[in-house]
Amino acid sequence: ALFAIFVFLFEPRSGVFVIVLTAAYGAFAYTLYSIAVAHANDHARAEDFVKVSGGLLLLYGFGTMIGPLLAAGLMGW
């Protein structure tokens, strides 16, 4: 959301600048899943590690399926 606000407010004229910002955003956003799994496993019992990781992976998958559909609907609204 912060990236979208930044692009909206500053309206960069250079396409290369937008590509670099998008790549940086993707690089940082991609690491959030592994940090979330590590944090969740820190608070889970040892016998629940697989269940916790599986649940987070399932939620991540749902988010990657539903997110673009919701975004497309909101953009057309």
60-66, Cβ contacts within 8 angstroms, sequence gap of 24 or more:
60/33
Q: Residue 66 and residue 60: Cα distance in Å, rounded?
A: 10
* pLDDT by 10-residue block (mean), the chain, 77 residues: 74 78 82 88 94 92 92 85
Identify the pLDDT of residue 14: 75
52-55, Cβ contacts within 8 angstroms, sequence gap of 24 or more:
none
